[in-house]
Amino acid sequence: MKILTSILLLLSLWGYSQPPIIPLPASYQRAKGTFTLSEHTRLVVEDSAFQPAARYLEKEMQRRWGLKRSQNSATKGPTLVIKAGLPAKEGSYALVMNEGSVVLTASSPAGAFYGVVSFLQLAAESRKVPCWNLKDSPLYGYRGFMLEESRHFFGVSKVKALLDEMAYYKLNRFHWHLTDEPGWRMEIKAYPRLALVGGVGTATDSLKPAQYYTQQQIKEIVSYAADRYITVIPEVDMPGHATAANRAYPAYSGGGSPAHPEFTFNPGKEETYTYLSTILKEVSSLFPARLIHIGGDEVSFGNEKWMKDAAIIRLMKQEKLSTALEVEHYFLRRMADTLRSCQVQVLGWDEVIEAGLPVDHTLVYWWRHDHPEQLEAALRKKYRVVLCPRLPFYFDFVQDSTHRVGRRWAGAFNPLKAVYEFNAEHYPGVKDHPGQVLGLQANVWTETMATAERLDFMVFPRLLALAEACWSPRKDFKAFQRRLSGHLSQLRKQDIHYFDPINPQASPELVH
């Protein structure tokens, strides 16, 4: 019996152990030996489209170990080959390793990049890389993370650092929420006061001097993301959450409420549409993905003056609109038309499904976990959907029962396990509409995150659990925790101030 137990244990440890990779590859098998990286390692790229992935690998080899790519084709040494092949599923790759070679075969440039990332994770601890054979492809094509910078601003270096971590864990959509009530964080040359006046203040300091991204900085970040196969999606929130913009250009304000002053743009003035169309066209010139998120959420927080506004009353008579909600929907259709004229897809929070926006031109973000019927309706109407429900994907919610700074929902919070174990098929309509759910996204709203360290504490390691939820169909939380331990060590070396869910006492709540 003891012999049988020992054999089963060895099989468990050797035959069925997992590679130290997050997200876990679809298929993996431990191979014999180790592949040693050295100054004699040759990097061979058989398809010029895969050169960006090769350059990324070269930079990482130089940064980690001071190794440069061998330029001598006659050099005898280990060889790393990147070549095309495999079915055309975007992001798929295979890695075959032995002591003398690593062969990375990919379906696309993105797949080559993800294969490189997996290899780098295997090499995280040493130049002597344990050999594995991998076949991999993502569960979802959309694997997103949203950073809101209206409430607190973090700057170019921090955004690049977040993009680095997204790339390392194969996330590929960066939703950049740049406008909201406290601040407008993007230079618009046609309306410079948006940044110079609207950029003043944060959620905790209304007098803080203007902070915003110049157009040159935006282009720099978009390019940096593209090098890591990440698409940047800007958000210009409307018609609500417009307080900062209205502070800069009050002529376009539709008023607000005591709790949310000057909250809306005025949908009754034709000049409002000219103003916002000019802004959106300028924004579209900065983001080559042809995707712009226009919000469309929570308008009722500050539209109580609409029904008394002369311009809006005229619009309602002219367009035969009966309610403030119908006015809101009219506004959204107008802005969607502007984006369509620019060949830009319109993206919006789940409220927009009631506005009659064109199905083939609209992407819906379902965020209200307490309104599953909204998701079901979006799918029934044939909209493509990204799932980002507050529970478990709002990272401004606390992640441990002992934490005090951050949000909860009727006492509920968002621990690592809930993020990891998310299953879209538990929600109504998802199984009945295959292909309409494009993927998942986590959102971080920064009311309680005034520093980069506090941001880290709320994002990590939940970002890693998100990555695996987006990529890997199989779920084993205990196995994930075992792999996570090594990745926490890597985060520590990068001076990322993460929460440690394995040993919470080692990382007391960081509140500033």
Q: How far apart are CA 279 and CA 182, in angstroms?
A: 19
CB 163 within 8 A of CB 257: no
Cα–Cα nearest to 366, from 391, 386, 352, 396: 386
The sign of the CA dihedral 307, 309, 310, 312 is negative
In the chain, the N- to C-terminal Cα span, in Å, equals 56
Say if residue 104 is exposed, middle or buried (CB neighbours under 10 Å; 0-12, 13-18, 19+): buried
Alpha-carbon separation of residue 177 from 71, 145, 214, 234 (angstroms):
44, 11, 15, 6
Phi, psi of 274 (to 5 degrees): -65, -45
| Candidate list 58, 298, 326, 354, residue with the active-site label | 298
DSSP H or E stretch at residue 341: helix 324-341
SS3 227: coil
CB 131 within 8 A of CB 109: no
* Residue 298 appears among annotated catalytic residues: yes
Token pair listed for 196: 């110079």
Cα–Cα nearest to 399, from 324, 479, 315, 507: 507
Q: How far apart are CA 262 and CA 244, in angstroms?
A: 9
Token pair listed for 299: 């308008």
CB 347 within 8 A of CB 338: no
Q: List, by residue number, the catalytic residues.
A: 298
